[in-house]
Amino acid sequence: SPTGDSWGIFTFLCAALCNLPALPALNCSEELGAGQSIQQTYDLTRYLEHQLRTLAGTYLNYLGPPFNEPDFNPPRLARAERVPSATVDLDLWRGLTDNARLAANYRAYSRLLCYLRVLDGQVGTAELRHRLSHFCASLQGLVLSIGGIMSSLGYPLPAGPAGPPAPPGMPTAPNDFLKKMDDFWLLKELQTWLWRSAKDFNRLKKKVPPAVVTLQLEARGF
């Protein structure tokens, strides 16, 4: 009968469960390696790109014309050379080793973060300060993530701390227009760095395998 069949199946399952301790136990452990770190860093970089688009628009409006005009494209001034430039030939950049590119990204974002913290202390509106603080926190996370990737791949971190204790800022501008020009170039270079870094991490994650799932048999009674 159906009731008898159901009772028979139930009895069989109970017997099987009672005998499980005598069988090998199957444990699944996930090794979180460089592959997952690279994926997470890539995702963070894309998030920062999105975040910067909104922040840059708000900040350029804060600076006012001509900085917030779409066709404003001034030449880079010698004063802005302290900001790490991402305007390196793409073929030359791709010709670098993974270690060299990661080290360059680590150093650049450490310096850019210092300059952004200076901006955070100078802007006059609470909303913009809040956005800058949030972006700085995300960028600090990116610096730490890049350092984590380098460590997991066996690469040494660049010499020196991620950033000096006191942000150096830019040299005092002789007038307000040049000060705004410094801020404009800081945002422009940061946009280019994030765009290129996203491509770097996308290529790197294809080289490094994802997290490995290992199956371990713990024999009991053997």
User: Is residue 120 a contact partner of residue 132, using CB atoms and an 8 Å limit?
Assistant: yes
Residue 211 inside a domain? The answer is no
pLDDT band of 80, cuts 50, 70, 90: low
Residue 90 inside a domain? The answer is yes
183 has a pLDDT exceeding 70: yes
pLDDT score for 85: 81
Residues 6+ away with beta carbon under 8 Å from 161: 110
pLDDT score for 221: 43
Residue 70 inside a domain? The answer is yes
11 has a pLDDT exceeding 70: no
Residue of 27, 31, 21 lying closest to 218 (CA atoms): 27
pLDDT score for 94: 87
CATH of the domain at 41: 1.20.1250.10
pLDDT score for 41: 94
Total structural domains within the chain? 1
What average pLDDT does the segment 159-177 reach? 57
Residue 221 inside a domain? The answer is no
pLDDT band of 101, cuts 50, 70, 90: very high
Q: Indicate the range of 12-16, 152-156, 186-190 predicted with least confidence.
A: 12-16
Q: What percent of the chain has pLDDT over 70?
A: 70
pLDDT score for 213: 38
Tell me the pLDDT tens digit for each residue of 30-48: 335 778 889 999 999 999 9
pLDDT score for 62: 92
Tell me the pLDDT of the chain averaged across its residues.
77
Q: What is the residue range of 136's domain?
A: 34-165+174-206
Residue 26 inside a domain? The answer is no
Q: Tell me the pTM.
A: 0.74
Tell me the pLDDT tens digit for each residue of 81-94: 677 887 778 888 88
Residue 149 inside a domain? The answer is yes
Residue of 142, 139, 70, 149 lying closest to 102 (CA atoms): 149
Residue 10 inside a domain? The answer is no
Tell me the pLDDT tens digit for each residue of 187-210: 999 999 999 999 999 999 888 876
pLDDT score for 171: 54
Residue 28 inside a domain? The answer is no
